[in-house]
Structure 1
Amino acid sequence: MKKSYSTLVNKKDITSIAIGGFDGMHIAHQQLFKQLDKNGAIVAIESGYSNLTPKSFRQEYTNLPVYYYVLDNIKHLEGEEFIKLLKEEFPNLKKIVVGFDFCFGKNRKYNTTGLKNLFDGEVVVVDEVCNNKLAIHSRFIRDFIKQGDIKKANEFLGKEYKIVGQVIKGQGLGKKSFVPTINLLVEEFLLPKEGVYITKTIIKDEIFNSVTFLGHRVTTDGSFAVETHILNKNIHNAIGKIQIIFIDKIRDNEKFNSFEKLKNQINEDINISLKYFDK
């Protein structure tokens, strides 16, 4: 469940902030957060392109309060105006932590050197963080997810990738002809490459082992679906928001010549998932 600290912490108590987009709240982001003091906070610049941890979902991955600033509302500010805004928002601010490639102000013309010149407190610049000589950036994690390389994405995230969706009515074939599934509408999160994945599904804070398909139902009606099957348990009448945690990919989406072949493959997908969780 998402935490909510921003409304509970008085900005006057904040003495250090980390500034960035922080989509994904991944390993490199966590290195910035480690530089904050006990009265630290996170300033997330919301560009509208965040789809790993969209909007306030970032709060789930930190015990620090997160404050959100919409980029369109501040991108016109000159460097001095941006620093003035921060000092007005956080009157006891003494320390700012940013990444090595941080830019700010109108047309992004100010960098970390400009920040040090304009801010009269301490400025900490965190160097690029790498994993096996490859830089950890949100854009690379997005690429891994779009390629279906969930294990690599999770390695860079430092946690398992998760999406949240609203339960919707499915086509009804699963329960009748195959296996029962919970169908989701996912709007804000980046979806992995079409295929079948070993997953965990969270329903009302309870975690279930599962196998999840996402993609176009090319063997049946051709429509796009995100549907998860709970292993060894019948879940009836699930409603509301459901979370899916991606662990590993089983296979790409594919078309089968008959319902029987599709059913056999679904059973094989389930067996692969069961073996994973039985390890």
Structure 2
Amino acid sequence: MKKNYSTLVNKKEITSIAIGGFDGMHIAHQKLFEKLDKNGAVVAIESGYTNITPKSFRQEYTNFPVYYYILENIRHLDGESFVKLLKEEFPNLKKIVVGFDFYFGKNRKYSAQNLLGLFKGEVVIIDEICNNNVAIHSRYIREFIKEGNIKKANCFLGREYKIAGAQVKGQGLGKTDFVPTINLIVEDFLLPNEGVYITKTILKDEEFNSITFLGHRVTTDGSYAIETHILNKNIEDFKGKVEIKFIDKLRENKKFNSFEELKNQINKDIAQAENYFNTNK
């Protein structure tokens, strides 16, 4: 369950901070958080490109409070002014944790190494974290997601990639001609490429096995849709927030010559997803 510590913790109580963009809150980011003490906090610098884990969802992936700072508001600062701002914001700050590739200040002039001389306290610099000799970076995870390589993205994230949105009215064909689906509109999140995925769908904090289609309905009206079908469960007239965790990609989106062909393929997709869940209990 998402925690919202940021409005509850007095900044005067914070003695250590991890600084970074933290889009993804992935495995490498978690290594920074491990170096915080019990009164630690996460300082997320908002660049405007955070679409793996948008701002309101990052608190879900750490037990430390998350504070947000807009890059545009602080990028003009020189090194001394940046550290002064941190000390003013967190007056009892004794430790700063950053990644090896952390840069700050005007024109990214200052590096993680510069903090060692600028901050009168402990500075911890985390070396590059790799997965099978590939460096873990948010930019790589974005590419995996856009390619539909969900399994690889999940390996780098350390969890299943998740999106969230609001339920919207669909075509109405699913319930009458195919299988019932929950249709949703998603904003801010990076969407996997078009196709059918093995997923888990979360409704009112309850998790269900599912398959999800993202893409243009090329066999019907051609519009873009995100539709999730709950396996072996009749969910009707659901209203509210929908969350989807992606596990693996089943197939690409494709055009079928008839509704009957499409229906047969949907049944095959469902059988394949059910087999996955039956063998991965």
Q: TM-score range by the shorter chain?
A: over 0.9
Whether 1:214 and 2:210 are equivalent positions in the alignment is: no
TM-score w.r.t. the length of structure 1 is 0.99
| Uncovered stretches (5+) of structure 1, i.e. residues with no partner | none
Aligned residue for 1:153, secondary structure, equals helix
Q: Indicate the residue corresponding to 1:262 in structure 2.
A: 262
* Whole-Å separation in 2 of the counterparts to 1:87 and 1:274: 54
Per-residue CA distance 1:187-229 (angstroms, 9 max, x = gap): 1100001000000000000111100000000011000000000
Q: Indicate the residue corresponding to 1:107 in structure 2.
A: 107
* Whole-Å separation in 1 of the counterparts to 2:261 and 2:161: 30
Per-residue CA distance 1:210-266 (angstroms, 9 max, x = gap): 000000000110000000000111111111211000011100001101110000000
Q: Indicate the residue corresponding to 2:49 in structure 1.
A: 49
Q: Indicate the residue corresponding to 2:223 in structure 1.
A: 223
Q: Indicate the residue corresponding to 2:26 in structure 1.
A: 26
4+ aligned runs moved over 4 Å, structure 1:
none
Per-residue CA distance 1:75-111 (angstroms, 9 max, x = gap): 1111111111100000000100000010001111000
| Uncovered stretches (5+) of structure 2, i.e. residues with no partner | none
Q: Indicate the residue corresponding to 2:131 in structure 1.
A: 131
Aligned residue for 1:192, secondary structure, equals coil
* Whole-Å separation in 2 of the counterparts to 1:162 and 1:218: 25
Whether 1:174 and 2:164 are equivalent positions in the alignment is: no
Shift of 1:121: 0.7
TM-score w.r.t. the length of structure 2 is 0.98
Aligned residue for 2:139, secondary structure, equals helix
* Whole-Å separation in 2 of the counterparts to 1:82 and 1:169: 48
* Whole-Å separation in 1 of the counterparts to 2:252 and 2:145: 13
**2:231 maps to amino acid:** L
Whether 1:159 and 2:163 are equivalent positions in the alignment is: no
Shift of 1:113: 2.0
* Whole-Å separation in 1 of the counterparts to 2:70 and 2:266: 44
Instruction: Name the % identity.
Output: 76
**2:62 maps to amino acid:** T
* Whole-Å separation in 2 of the counterparts to 1:5 and 1:161: 23
Per-residue CA distance 1:15-58 (angstroms, 9 max, x = gap): 10000000111000010111111111100011111011101211
**1:170 maps to amino acid:** G
Q: Indicate the residue corresponding to 1:202 in structure 2.
A: 202
**1:53 maps to amino acid:** T
Aligned residue for 1:227, secondary structure, equals strand
Q: Indicate the residue corresponding to 2:12 in structure 1.
A: 12
Q: Indicate the residue corresponding to 2:235 in structure 1.
A: 235
* Whole-Å separation in 1 of the counterparts to 2:105 and 2:115: 10
* Whole-Å separation in 2 of the counterparts to 1:47 and 1:248: 29
Q: Indicate the residue corresponding to 1:246 in structure 2.
A: 246
* Whole-Å separation in 2 of the counterparts to 1:103 and 1:174: 50
Whether 1:79 and 2:61 are equivalent positions in the alignment is: no
